[in-house]
Amino acid sequence: MWRTMCPKPPWFLTSISGRSGSESVLRQSSMKGKVRKTCKSKKLPCPSVLNHFDQQYSEELGDLWAPARAVLLDPPSWQYGVMLNRFSSVADITQLLLAQGFSLLLPQTDVSKLPYNNASSVSNSTHQKGKGTLSHLYFSKCPPEDLSLQPFITYHASSQPHQSELPLNFPQSSLQCYIHLHPLRFPSQPHRPGQLKQYYLLNAASLLPVLALQVRDGDKVLDLCSAPGGKAVAIMQSATPDLLCCNEPDPHRREWLAKTLESFLPASLSSRVMVSAQDGRSVGQSESGFYDKVLVDAPCSNDRSWLYSSDRHRGQQRLEHRSRLPLLQAQLLRSAISAVRPGGVVVYSTCTLSSLENSAVVETVLNDFPDAEVENLWEEIALPLSKYFAFISLPGHAGIDPQPFLCPQNVSASCSHHRLGILVVPQPGKAWGPMFLSRIRKKG
Ligand SMILES: C[S@@+](CC[C@H](N)C(=O)[O-])C[C@H]1O[C@@H](n2cnc3c(N)ncnc32)[C@H](O)[C@@H]1O
């Protein structure tokens, strides 16, 4: 159905004009060692939202709330990941990242051997054929994270290992994300007419739902709530699905999504990546059993951003909206489970700490699907990645652990408790998240 609604993705229909590769290298090099943009103005947290968080999260997170609160209230301490684009040539950026002391988050497969990966030839041939520019559509305004623009301090590559430090048995990935132990913020890449972007800045915890989805070449994948497209780009870095349907009902955000896809993916992928505009709640009916994998990166409270609501009124509006979100989230998750084939998986994720939008949603929906079960991400993701992220595991409401606990580092002990998902809680020195994820498999 989405094919008829949106026969060609907007990013495919557009032609764009080129700029030389050397120019982009020059732009990047000129950033080196400079103190970049300074913060526009120091944003203050919204008191009513903070108050609400204090009440809810001190109860839900216990002792873990105070350090999480400290991180959320200190944007300069937030960390940023740099996800490279395998469809662009990234040698110059990689060098720059290494020189600044960034290192790889994940063990790598050899990206050069992947289909569609002919980086420089894609960006220099396919895209330069077109004329005109899409710059009028480009969302150049800074994302909310720009609250924390940091001086660009130089660290020496020799002091930081280049390779990922994850256990050897952690699955290799073609997803190249560089992170830094310190809260350095690599500069955003401006729009480059005629060229694909080389990297995407993100909260590295946003990659975890994509890792949990385990997309393989040839899969049919639905990104149910897709804009602005960060996870869609990450999916296409991880594998080459036969189909990635990026769904976004909000027209303004869908335009943003299309722009992201256009900036990161070569036109040669246009037959595999589509944009649709459905209300995600209806997809389970219209596309029942069609997909191998569905990501529900649900509309949620977005704690980082909501804490900095522009004024009391906006904060209050959001808190009222917050109470209505679990219903929508449960409807989306039900729809997603209906849209996967038997044996297929759904990953449900949010960027809030709220258990009402996380484990409670998963628990409610599972009651309606006796043929679906939650899989154990604790051992697969939380334990191996606990060096970088602070995870807690979430029992059901009638659960076994009255008090959440942090995933211990360097522990291989198995965790036999039934879990509804894992939650990345920002902590000093591990200032990633919030990010909740749960993987649900429909029995085959
Ligand atoms: C958290 S954002 C998704 C972020 C995106 N996955 C990414 O990584 O860039 C949630 C998105 O869900 C969309 N949304 C809201 N209601 C929806 C619905 N009924 N069906 C599908 N998507 C919806 C919102 O417009 C928003 O763009």
Task: List the chain domain ranges.
Answer: 25-35+43-442
Residue nearest to atom 15 of ligand 1 (CA): 299
Query: Which of 225, 264, 327 to probe ligand 1 with, by most ligand atoms within 8 A of CB?
Result: 225
Amino acid at 425: V
Is residue 197 within 8 Å of residue 88, measured between CB atoms? yes
Residues sharing a CB contact under 8 Å with residue 107, sequence separation 6 or more, in sequence order: 163, 164, 166, 168, 170, 171, 172, 173
Q: Tell me the Cα Rg of the chain.
A: 21
Expressed in angstroms and rounded, the spacing between residue 144 Cα and the centre of ligand 1 is 17
- State mean pLDDT over 231-246: 98
pLDDT at 127: 36
Which contacts of 187-192 are long-range, i.e. CB under 8 A and separated by 24 or more positions? 187/31, 187/36, 187/37, 187/152, 188/142, 188/143, 188/146, 190/27, 190/140, 191/135, 191/138, 191/140, 191/263, 192/19, 192/24
* Mean pLDDT of the region 418-432: 91
pLDDT per position as a tens digit, 196-234: 999 999 999 999 999 999 999 999 999 999 999 999 999
Does the pLDDT of residue 339 top 80, yes or no?
yes
| Cis amide bond preceding 209, omega within 30 | no
Residue 373, pLDDT > 90, answer: yes
Residue 414 tokens read as 């198995």
pLDDT band at 442 (very low <50, low <70, confident <90, very high): very high
Who wins on pLDDT, 56 or 406? 56
> Which homologous superfamily is 25-35+43-442 in?
Vaccinia Virus protein VP39 (3.40.50.150)
Distance between CA atoms of 306 and 49, rounded to whole angstroms?
A: 7
Alpha-carbon distance 151 to 285, whole Å? 50
Residues comprising the binding site?
Answer: 225-231, 248, 279, 297
Q: Whose CA is nearest to atom 6 of ligand 1?
A: 226
> Of the ranges 127-141, 163-177, 339-353, which is most confident?
339-353
Measured in Å, residue 4 CA sits from the centre of ligand 1 at 21
**Confidence band, pLDDT 50/70/90 cuts, at residue 430:** very high
Q: How many angstroms is it from 225 CA to the middle of ligand 1? A: 4
Is residue 149's pLDDT more than 60? Answer: no
- Indicate the average pLDDT of the chain: 80
Q: Which of 62-76, 99-113, 225-239, 412-426 has the lowest mean pLDDT?
A: 412-426
Comparing 413 with 368, which gets the higher pLDDT? 368
Confidence of residue 406 (pLDDT cuts 50, 70, 90): low
Lowest mean pLDDT among 48-57, 146-155, 243-252, 333-342: 146-155
Instruction: Give the pLDDT score at 35.
Output: 29
Q: Decide: 434 in ligand 1 pocket, CB within 6 A.
A: no
Burial class (CB in 10 A: 0-12, 13-18, 19+), 58: middle
Ligand 1 probe mutation, 226, 252, 437, most atoms within 8 A of CB:
226
* DSSP secondary structure letter of residue 55: H
